[in-house]
Structure 1
Amino acid sequence: MRLLKALPVLVLPALALPSALLLAGAPAAAAAETAKVVSGPPSSPGGVSTATCPLGTHLTGGGYRLQPDAAGPVRASGPTTDATGWSAQAEHGSVVAFAVCETED
């Protein structure tokens, strides 16, 4: 087993700068973002479920949940063509799509 030597820690004294100078280079606080998960209606067997983001929000992700009657793989899952929601389709059975939507406060 090889042991490493600890390096000495260098401690520097704090500089006495005016507080205005310290804040001048600080970045502005970003607006808070909030996430909301919306779900689409259950699809008909083999049909498509689409979850759409509410107005004033934008899509950041999504997914799906197979209903108990679903059999076989999911045929498709992804953003809608206009990127305002998420769609999913099961090979057989029902699926529910979910969209993760964010807004800035």
Structure 2
Amino acid sequence: MRALSTALLLAAAVLASAAPAAPAFAAETAKVVTGPASSPGGVSTATCPAGTHLTGGGYRLQPDATGPVRASGPTADATGWSAQAEHGSVVAFAVCETED
């Protein structure tokens, strides 16, 4: 019985060592960038820093905002996020990632 246990352990060790290595992937690091507060009714834009790419974004209405948000979405060149409130101020934020 002991010889069988030893043989099974040895076989398991050989199979484990023969398993292919997991592929290496670069880790991504997320960073949230905040744009400046807009003037009332104006646009706020948060731009991703060089070496990063946009993965999402959003906005935060300032206390003076009394109307709906007119627009919130990626910039035309997809390097940041813009937002605009109909009345009051808004702050845009962009979620940017870089590969390490």
- TM-score normalized with structure 2 length: 0.83
Deviations 1:24-81 (A, max 9, x none): x333221111000000010011000000000000000000000110011000000001
Provide the C-alpha distance between the structure 2 equivalents of 1:76 and 1:64, rounded to a whole number of angstroms: 10
Q: Which runs of 4+ in 1 moved over 3 A?
A: 13-16
Provide the C-alpha distance between the structure 2 equivalents of 1:39 and 1:80, rounded to a whole number of angstroms: 14
Q: Which has the higher helix share?
A: 2
Aligned to 1:65: 60
Provide the C-alpha distance between the structure 2 equivalents of 1:50 and 1:98, rounded to a whole number of angstroms: 7
Q: Does 1:34 align with 2:24?
A: no
Number of matched residues?
A: 90
**Identical pairs, percent:** 82
- TM-score normalized with structure 1 length: 0.80
Listed as ranges, the gaps of 5+ residues in structure 2 are 1-7
Q: Describe how 1:80-91 pairs up with structure 2 within 5 A.
A: 80-91=75-86
Provide the C-alpha distance between the structure 2 equivalents of 1:53 and 1:70, rounded to a whole number of angstroms: 25
Listed as ranges, the gaps of 5+ residues in structure 1 are 1-12
Provide the C-alpha distance between the structure 1 equivalents of 2:21 and 2:93, rounded to a whole number of angstroms: 38
Provide the C-alpha distance between the structure 2 equivalents of 1:48 and 1:27, rounded to a whole number of angstroms: 46
Aligned to 1:102: 97
Provide the C-alpha distance between the structure 2 equivalents of 1:65 and 1:97, rounded to a whole number of angstroms: 6
User: How much is the aligned-residue C-alpha RMSD, in angstroms?
Assistant: 1.5
Aligned to 2:4: none
